[in-house]
Structure 1
Amino acid sequence: MNRSRADEGLSIGPWEVLPRLNVLRGHDAEVHIEPRYMDLLVYLAERAGEVVSTDEILGRVWHGQVVGDHSVYQAIARLRKALGDGAGERTYIETVPKRGYRLIAAVDRGSRPTAPSPTTKAHGSVPWKGLLLVVAGVALALYLAVQTEQSETTNEATTTIAVLPFRSLSEQENDAQIAAGFAIELADALGRLEHVSVIGPVSSSLAGAPHAARQRDLLQADIVVDGSLRRDGNTLRVAVALLDASDGRQLLSRISDHADNDVFAAQRRMAATLADAIRGRQGLPPVAEVDATPHDVQAYDFYLLGRYHRARRDPQSLHRAAAFFRDALAREPDFTAARVALATTILLSSYYDQMALDEAVAQATPLLEHVLQESPADADLLAAIGLSHYLRGSYGVAVDYLQRAIAVDVNNAEAWMWLGLAQRQQGDLRSAEAAFARVRVIEPLFTTAALNHANALSWMGDSGAADALLAALLDKVGDDAQLYRGRAEIALDHGDLAAAYRWSQRALAIDPQTPLSRANLAMVLAYLGRTADAARMVDGLHPASRAVQRYLDRLSATVLGLPDRDAATESLQTPPRANGAEIDWRLTHARAGMQRYLAGDMDVAHKQLDMALEGRIYPIERTDYDLLLCSMLVDAQERVGHRDEAVRWRERCGAELERSRRNGWQTLAAGYVGARLAMLDGHADVAREQLAKLVEKGFRNRRLLRADPLFSRLHGDAAFSELLDRLDATIDAEWQAAQSPAI
Structure 2
Amino acid sequence: MQLAQVPPFRLGELEVRPAERTIVFAGGREILEPRVMEVLVTLAKADGRVVGRDELVDACWGGRAVTDDAVNRAVSRVRRVSELHDGPTFTLETIAKVGYRLVLAEAAQAAEAASLSVEPVSAPQAERHALLLGLALAAIAAVMVAFAAFILEPRHTPPARPDLGPLTLAVLPFDGVSKSDNTEFLAKSLPLEIRSRLSRMRGLRVIAETSSFAVAAEQLSRQEMGRRLGADILLGGSVRVEGEITRITVELVDAPSATVAWTTDYNGDVSNLMAAEDAITVAVLEHLARELGDERVQIVTPRKAVDAEVHRLLMDARQCIMKRLSRTFAADQAAAEALADRVEQDLNDVLAREPENADALVLRAFLVARGGISTSSAQRKTIFERQMESKELVNRALRSDPDNPAALTALAEYQRRFAWQWKDSERLFRRALAIDPNNPDTHTWFSYYLMLVGRCTEAVEQANLAQLLDPVSPWRQLVMPRALKCQGSMAEADQLYRKALDASRDNAFLIREIYLNFLVRRDGSALRALARHVRDDLWQGAPSAPVAAEILRMEAGAAALDGDPEALFAVIGADEDQLSEYMTGQAPTTLGRFTPDVYWTLSLEAAIAGRPGYAAELYGRAIAGRSLYISETMPFGTYEFTPETRADPRYQAIWRADPALSELAALRLQALREGKMAGILPDGRSTQAASVSAGGEQ
Whether 1:190 and 2:198 are equivalent positions in the alignment is: yes
Q: Which residue of 2 aligns with 1:328?
A: 350
Among 337, 344, 358, the alignment partner of 2:359 is: 337
* 1:595–1:328 CA distance, 2 compared to 1 (3 A): same
User: Does the CA contact (< 8 Å) of 1:481 and 1:511 recur in 2?
Assistant: no
TM-superposed deviation, 1:381: 2.0
Query: Radius of gyration: which is bigger?
Result: 1
- For residue 499 of structure 1, what is the amino acid of its counterpart? A
Using CA pairs under 8 Å that are at least 6 residues apart, name the structure with larger relative contact order, 1 or 2: 2
User: Does the CA contact (< 8 Å) of 2:208 and 2:470 recur in 1?
Assistant: yes
User: Does the CA contact (< 8 Å) of 1:199 and 1:443 recur in 2?
Assistant: yes
TM-superposed deviation, 1:465: 2.1
Whether 1:412 and 2:424 are equivalent positions in the alignment is: no
Q: Distance in 2 between matches of 1:487 and 1:598?
A: 16
TM-superposed deviation, 1:324: 0.8
Whether 1:266 and 2:276 are equivalent positions in the alignment is: yes
* 1:427–1:286 CA distance, 2 compared to 1 (3 A): closer
Among 314, 324, 327, the alignment partner of 1:303 is: 314
Among 404, 414, 418, the alignment partner of 1:392 is: 418
- For residue 335 of structure 1, what is the amino acid of its counterpart? N
* 1:631–1:332 CA distance, 2 compared to 1 (3 A): same
CA deviation string 1:579-625 (max 9, x = no partner): 999x9897688689789989999999867756766999x94553415
User: Does the CA contact (< 8 Å) of 1:241 and 1:250 recur in 2?
Assistant: yes
CA deviation string 1:559-582 (max 9, x = no partner): 6894x889867746647958999x
User: Does the CA contact (< 8 Å) of 1:275 and 1:285 recur in 2?
Assistant: no
Q: Which residue of 1 aligns with 2:456?
A: 429
CA deviation string 1:395-432 (max 9, x = no partner): 62333322221122222111111111122223333332
* 1:632–1:239 CA distance, 2 compared to 1 (3 A): farther
Identity of aligned residues (%): 17
Please say which of residues 239-248 and 417-426 is displaced more in the overlay.
239-248
Among 346, 353, 362, the alignment partner of 2:388 is: 362
Q: Which residue of 2 aligns with 1:544?
A: none
Q: Which residue of 2 aligns with 1:710?
A: none
Q: Distance in 2 between matches of 1:484 and 1:420?
A: 19
1:200-211 maps to which residues of 2 (within 5 A)?
200-204=208-212, 205-206=214-215, 208-211=218-221
Among 551, 555, 558, the alignment partner of 1:521 is: 551
1:592-671 maps to which residues of 2 (within 5 A)?
619=628, 621-624=630-633, 628=640, 631-632=643-644, 635-637=647-649
Q: Alignment partner of 1:380: what SS? A: helix
TM-superposed deviation, 1:350: 7.2
Whether 1:441 and 2:468 are equivalent positions in the alignment is: yes
Q: Which residue of 2 aligns with 1:53?
A: none
Q: Distance in 1 between matches of 2:235 and 2:254?
A: 9
User: Does the CA contact (< 8 Å) of 1:164 and 1:210 recur in 2?
Assistant: no
TM-superposed deviation, 1:330: 0.6
Q: Distance in 2 between matches of 1:509 and 1:182?
A: 46
1:690-709 maps to which residues of 2 (within 5 A)?
none
* 1:632–1:577 CA distance, 2 compared to 1 (3 A): farther
CA deviation string 1:631-664 (max 9, x = no partner): 5555444999x9xx99xxxx99999997786566
Q: Alignment partner of 1:464: what SS? A: helix
- For residue 428 of structure 2, what is the amino acid of its counterpart? Y
TM-score relative to the length of structure 2? 0.58
1:471-482 maps to which residues of 2 (within 5 A)?
481=507
Q: Which residue of 1 aligns with 2:526?
A: 496
Q: Distance in 2 between matches of 1:480 and 1:167?
A: 34
Please say which of residues 239-248 and 267-276 is displaced more in the overlay.
267-276
* 1:293–1:265 CA distance, 2 compared to 1 (3 A): closer
CA deviation string 1:254-292 (max 9, x = no partner): 676776631122344445666777778724666522443
User: Does the CA contact (< 8 Å) of 1:161 and 1:197 recur in 2?
Assistant: yes
* 1:358–1:3 CA distance, 2 compared to 1 (3 A): farther
TM-superposed deviation, 1:497: 2.4
* 1:558–1:405 CA distance, 2 compared to 1 (3 A): farther
CA deviation string 1:298-332 (max 9, x = no partner): 33332232233234352443442232122111112
TM-superposed deviation, 1:501: 0.9
User: Does the CA contact (< 8 Å) of 1:630 and 1:653 recur in 2?
Assistant: no
1:455-474 maps to which residues of 2 (within 5 A)?
455-458=482-485, 460-470=487-497
CA deviation string 1:706-737 (max 9, x = no partner): xxxxxxxxxxxxxxxxxxxxxxxxxxxxxxxx
Q: Alignment partner of 1:496: what SS? A: helix
Q: Which residue of 1 aligns with 2:301?
A: 289
User: Does the CA contact (< 8 Å) of 1:489 and 1:500 recur in 2?
Assistant: no
Q: Which residue of 1 aligns with 2:84?
A: 65
TM-superposed deviation, 1:500: 1.1
1:445-594 maps to which residues of 2 (within 5 A)?
445-458=472-485, 460-470=487-497, 481=507, 485=511, 494=523, 495-505=525-535, 517=547, 520-529=550-559, 562=569, 571=577, 574=580, 577=583
Please say which of residues 281-290 and 656-665 is displaced more in the overlay.
656-665
User: Does the CA contact (< 8 Å) of 1:229 and 1:239 recur in 2?
Assistant: yes
Q: CA RMSD in A?
A: 6.1
Q: Distance in 2 between matches of 1:37 and 1:254?
A: 34
Q: Distance in 2 between matches of 1:330 and 1:487?
A: 43
* 1:607–1:572 CA distance, 2 compared to 1 (3 A): closer
Q: Alignment partner of 2:398: what SS? A: helix
1:99-110 maps to which residues of 2 (within 5 A)?
none
Q: Alignment partner of 1:401: what SS? A: helix
User: Does the CA contact (< 8 Å) of 1:293 and 1:335 recur in 2?
Assistant: no
Q: Which residue of 1 aligns with 2:89?
A: none
- For residue 366 of structure 1, what is the amino acid of its counterpart? E
* 1:659–1:490 CA distance, 2 compared to 1 (3 A): same
Q: Distance in 2 between matches of 1:324 and 1:318?
A: 10
CA deviation string 1:458-508 (max 9, x = no partner): 454444323433556678x68674797366665665541233114443677
Q: Alignment partner of 1:261: what SS? A: coil
Q: Distance in 1 between matches of 2:663 and 2:643?
A: 10
Q: Distance in 1 between matches of 2:466 and 2:517?
A: 20
- For residue 496 of structure 1, what is the amino acid of its counterpart? A
CA deviation string 1:97-117 (max 9, x = no partner): xxxxxxxxxxxx889343544
Q: Alignment partner of 1:192: what SS? A: coil
* 1:597–1:421 CA distance, 2 compared to 1 (3 A): closer
User: Does the CA contact (< 8 Å) of 1:393 and 1:620 recur in 2?
Assistant: no
Q: Distance in 1 between matches of 2:362 and 2:178?
A: 29
- For residue 289 of structure 1, what is the amino acid of its counterpart? T
Q: Distance in 2 between matches of 1:260 and 1:165?
A: 20
Among 131, 135, 143, the alignment partner of 1:112 is: 135
